Amino acid sequence: MRRTTVLRTGMSALLVLGAWAGAGLAPASAAAPAPTAEPQASAGLLDAMESDLGLTKDQARSRLAAERAATAIESTARRAAGPAFGGAWFDAGTGKLAVAITDRAKAGAVRATGASVRLVTYGAARLDAVKKKIDGFKAPAGVSSWHVDPRINRVVVNVVADQQTDNDVKAFLARAHQAGPLQVQKTAEAPKTFAAGTVGGDPYYTGNVRCSIGFSVHGGFVTAGHCGGGGAAVRGWDGSHIGNFQGSSFPGDDYAWVSVGSGWWTVPVVLGWGTVPDQLVRGSAEAPIGASICRSGSTTHWHCGAVLAKNETVNYSQGAVHQMTKTSVCAEPGDSGGSFISGDQAQGVTSGGWGNCSGGGQTWHQPINEILGRYGLRLHTA
C-alpha cells in the first residue's frame, strides 16, 4: 500500500490507494436513489453558501431544507400537471417548487403536492420541440448556448455580447425566432472546456492533460469526455497508473468513465479541500432549477452557486454538446470532470463554462444520471 490516509488535500476526491482494487466492483445497472433523511449541514458548507450565495447560516439551513423538499415532490407535481406541464423550478423567494401549467383546471391538483402554480401559454412539450429544432441548426461561434427556461416560458438563446451584430449570429437568430417563442440574452464570453496542461500533485492526468475526478461508480469513476478518448491511460496524483478510459463521448455529449485498478479503489466521497468537510454521496436525485449546488475541482477546489438552466445546448469550439445543466458556479482550467453535488446528491461532472473564480462566471455540467444510464454504471453511495 502506497498510502493509508483515505482523503487529503491534493489527492483525488473519489479514489484512495489500497488493497481493495477490483474486489467485486463490476458495473451494474444505473440507479438514482431518492434523498435520504435530511443530514445536518456542516459548518464548512454553511460558510461556503454564506460566501458564494450571500446567505446567513440560518438562511442557508432553511434553503437546504426547502430545496430538499422541492426535489422530493417534483416528479409528483409533474404527474399531477399531466400534458399541461410547462416546467418546474425552485423559487428561492417562496421556498417552494414552482410549477408552470397551461391549464388552470390542473392548478388544484398541482398545489395539493405542495408546489406553487404559474399559468403559462406554452407547455414543456412545445418548448422542448422548439429547442430540438434549434439543435439542428449549425451555430456560429458567437452563439454561446440555448435552453428552455420555464420561468419565462421561452427558449433562451445566449449570444456573446461583442458578437451580437455578426451576420452569422443574426442569421442564426432569425431562423431560431421562426422556430417558436424565443428570447435572446447576452453573455460575457464564449464557453470553453476546463481541461489544463500537466501540473504536479493534482488528481489525474491523461497524456499532457489534467482533469478532475467526478464521482465513484462501482468499478471506477465518471468524468468529462473531453479529458480523454476511449482506451487512454490515466495516472493519479502521484503519477501511478489508475486505469483506462472505458468509454468517452465528446462533443455531442461530454462524459466518460475510467476503470480503477493497480492498487486504487473507489469511495463515495467528494473532496471538500479544507473549505468544507469531505462530502458523502448518498444518491443522485436531480435538483430543480433555482436550487443551490456546489462543485469540487482540482484547480479552484470548492465553490457554490445555483442551478440556472437544464437541457441546455452548449456551443463549444469543438462542437455542440446537448442536455447540459448550467449553473452560476465558477470554474477554471483543470476543474473539468469534477463533481457537482447538491446536499448529498450527485448532480453531474464539470464540462466547461466562461469566466473564472476571481471575477465570476458560469459553468455547465453533464448530468450524472445520463452517464450512469449510458454505460450501465451504478453510483457508489454511502
CA dist 186 and 164 (Å) reads 8
CA dist 203 and 223 (Å) reads 12
CA dist 147 and 127 (Å) reads 9
- Among 315, 309, 290, 323, residue whose Cα is nearest residue 176: 315
Q: In Å, what is the CA distance from 5 to each residue of 8, 16, 150?
A: 7, 8, 46
What phi-psi label fits residue 300: left (phi over 0), alpha (psi between -120 and 50 degrees) or beta?
Answer: alpha
For residues 354 and 213, the answer to whether their CB atoms sit within 8 Å is no
Q: In Å, what is the CA distance from 113 to each residue of 3, 74, 88, 181, 232?
A: 50, 9, 13, 29, 48
Burial call 186-200: b when 16+ CB within 10 Å, e when fewer:
ebeebbebbbbeeee
Using only the alpha carbons of the chain, give its radius of gyration.
20
Instruction: For residue 317, indicate whether it is catalytic.
Output: no
Which member of 202, 216, 226, 301 is catalytic?
A: 226
Which residues lie across from 85 on neighbouring strands? 101
User: Is residue 83 reached through a cis peptide bond, with omega within 30 degrees of 0 on the bond before it?
Assistant: no
Q: In Å, what is the CA distance from 193 to each residue of 7, 227, 254?
A: 27, 9, 10
Which cell goes with 190?
A: 464564449
CA dist 262 and 121 (Å) reads 57
Instruction: For residue 75, indicate whether it is catalytic.
Output: no
Which member of 254, 278, 335, 344 is catalytic?
A: 254
Instruction: For residue 262, indicate whether it is catalytic.
Output: no
Residues designated as active site: 226, 254, 336
